Amino acid sequence: QVRLVESGGGLVQSGGSLRLSCAASVRTFSTHAMGWFRQAPGKEREFVAAIDWSGSSKYYSDSVKGRFTISRNRTGTTVNLEMNSLKPEDTGVYYCNTGTRSSRISDYQAGGVGRYWGQGTQVTVSS
């Protein structure tokens, strides 16, 4: 059974930084693209960032571009999201996602999502 486990959320002041991590339980996901989504209270889940299987291609939403950086470790089974210059509107539950059809970021760029989700980690940015 595939498990995605997020960690690293917390409370931070506006302008601060946090680093989220997502660990996959199955090594085969080192050949899959992975993404991060978030959901603010009362809003729909939205795409944040994605990375391809090799770590060489990355894709960001306009709202986080230039502030967030997605990366994956050498074995490919852990994906990190470095979040800088955080704003109160970045508050929400952040979810890791994988299991798209492609090992590239194209599915995420087309608005798709993978089959597998983590349980989420709360990020709260105070003003």
The amino acid at 88 = P
- Is residue 92 within 8 A of residue 18, CB to CB? The reply is no
Using one digit for the tens of pLDDT, what is the confidence trace for 84-93?
999 999 999 9
Q: Would you give the DSSP letter of residue 107?
A: H
Residues of the chain below pLDDT 50: none
Can you tell me the distance from the alpha carbon of 118 to that of 78, in angstroms, rounded to the nearest whole number? 12
Q: Please classify residue 72 by burial: count the beta carbons closer than 10 Å to its beta carbon, then call 0-12 exposed, 13-18 middle and 19+ buried.
A: buried
* The pLDDT value given to residue 59: 97
Summarised one tens digit per residue, pLDDT across range 72-108 is 988 888 999 999 999 999 999 999 999 888 899 999 9
The pLDDT, as a whole number, for residue 77 is 85
- 92: Cα separation from own chain's centroid: 12
